[in-house]
Amino acid sequence: MNKKAKQKTQKKQWDFHVFLRGTIFLGFSLLMISMIVNNSIHLYIAPRMMIFVYFALAMFLFLSGIQYWRSTPRGQAADDGCHCEHNHQMKGSLLKKTLVYSIFLTPLLLGFVLPEAGLNSSFAENRGVNIGGVSTYQLANEYEEDANVRRSSMEDLYIERFAQSLAMDERIVIDDESYIDILNALQAYPDELIGQEVEITGFMFHDAHFEDEGLGFLSRFAMICCTADSSLYGLPVKGGDILSYENDDWLRVTGEIVMNNVNGWDIPVVVVTDITEVSAPSNPYVYPSF
């Protein structure tokens, strides 16, 4: 074989499969970038976890660049020069290759096509509402008192002092930053806060177990890391025409804190004095302090 023929046989072409892998990495990178730019990433990931999202984004872009370079003739020549005596080409039938790539391409395409949405009351039906340490599931099934959530001594001390500071306020406004802390304080130290006026914003949730009690729940989903570990936190509300509102209606409710006995549990309840319909916030989640 002459030199010219030898060079021709050794000439490399672009590797489609490696190029496609680079495109998949780039596609996931662009999906993350689009979710970060339009702020929809917070529908799925808690702010404390964003550092890992940025790290993953950087790695995906890096790996995308590596795969694009490996798909070039020069990149393939470098692979051949590794002397590992291993064929780097993807093996298998066309069907097998299609199935492998579909595992990655399907969620990628769905990420771009499906509408962005947070959790709603349909998820709440399976999880119940956490009323600061006791859940509606416990209330409905008449659990014993020791079913309460255990907290660390540091968290208990924080909640106790937080409840004492709330007791000094003429009006308690349950905002996003202190949402869970206030609900925990209401359940742990109700005597400090009974009779105070409170304002709470959330979406309406009807639990069939408590409608005979005249109770609805104004709730928010709390997220620790991502939507998979989300829990529903809320307060029972009663009075006025609160039960006429539908599930997922966003309301701002003002009322007085009282104690109600439900299945042997004394729980804080808001007796409604004013109801205002509001738009859903851009970020529907709240986050714990601990």
Residues 28 and 133 in one domain: no
Token readout for 271 is 């007796």
Alpha carbons 8 and 120: distance in angstroms, whole number: 62
Alpha carbons 77 and 10: distance in angstroms, whole number: 9
Among 113, 129, 153, the domain-final residue is: 113
Above pLDDT 70, what percent of the chain? Answer: 82
Position 201 scores a pLDDT of: 95
The CATH number assigned to the domain holding 234 equals 2.40.50.140
154 has a pLDDT exceeding 80:
no
262 has a pLDDT exceeding 50:
yes
Pairing assessment for the beta strands 171-174 and 197-205 based on DSSP bridges: parallel
Position 33 scores a pLDDT of: 96
1 has a pLDDT exceeding 60:
no
Residues 138 and 280 in one domain: yes
Domain enclosing residue 187, as ranges: 121-286
Residues 88 and 65 in one domain: yes
Residues 69 and 139 in one domain: no
149 has a pLDDT exceeding 50:
no
pLDDT band at 202 (very low <50, low <70, confident <90, very high): very high
Number of structural domains (the chain) is: 2
Residues 127 and 92 in one domain: no
> How many CA atoms, within 13 angstroms, populate the side-chain half-sphere of residue 143?
13
The residue type of 244 is S
Position 66 scores a pLDDT of: 92
Higher pLDDT, 125 or 41: 41
Q: What DSSP element (H or E) covers 103?
A: helix 94-113
Residues 109 and 133 in one domain: no
Residues 147 and 217 in one domain: yes
Position 108 scores a pLDDT of: 94
9 has a pLDDT exceeding 70:
no
Residues 95 and 125 in one domain: no
Q: Is residue 2 situated within a structural domain?
A: no
Residues 244 and 221 in one domain: yes
Residues 101 and 154 in one domain: no
Alpha carbons 179 and 156: distance in angstroms, whole number: 16
Residues 248 and 279 in one domain: yes
Tens of pLDDT, residues 23-75: 999 999 999 999 999 989 999 999 999 999 999 999 999 999 999 998 888 77
132 has a pLDDT exceeding 70:
no
Q: pTM higher than 0.85, yes or no?
A: no
